[in-house]
Amino acid sequence: METYTHSIPMDSIDITKRRFEILFSAKLRLKDKMLEAARIQDRIREKSKDWEGSPVIREWRDKRRR
């Protein structure tokens, strides 16, 4: 593995700091996307409380077989 030397020691600290910021923000974005997906699923469940999907899917499958 090749190592790089920096002219100023602060360069390596700045680079490391930036890498941590990138990794941390990526984790936050992933968490935000997961939370948004959960909210969407909750809204869908709320709207379809009494709906039964099995008969509809069975009907679609039967139509495909014909």
pLDDT tops 90 at residue 60? yes
> Does any domain span residue 61?
no
Whether residue 1 has pLDDT greater than 70: no
Encoded tokens for 5: 């030397």
Q: What is the DSSP letter of 50?
A: T
Verdict on whether the full-model pTM lies above 0.85: no
18 found inside a domain: yes
- Name the pLDDT band for 62 (thresholds 50, 70, 90): very high
Give 4 or 51, the one with higher predicted confidence. Answer: 51
Q: Is residue 52 part of a domain?
A: no
Kindly report, residue by residue over 17-40, the tens digit of the pLDDT.
888 888 888 888 888 899 999 999
Report the chain's mean pLDDT, rounded to a whole number. 83
The helix (run of H) or strand (run of E) holding residue 21 is helix 9-47
Query: Any idea of the CA torsion for 64, 52, 42, 27, to the nearest 10 degrees?
Result: -40
Residue 15 lies in a domain: yes
Range of the domain at 15: 10-46
Place of tokens 């997961």: 34
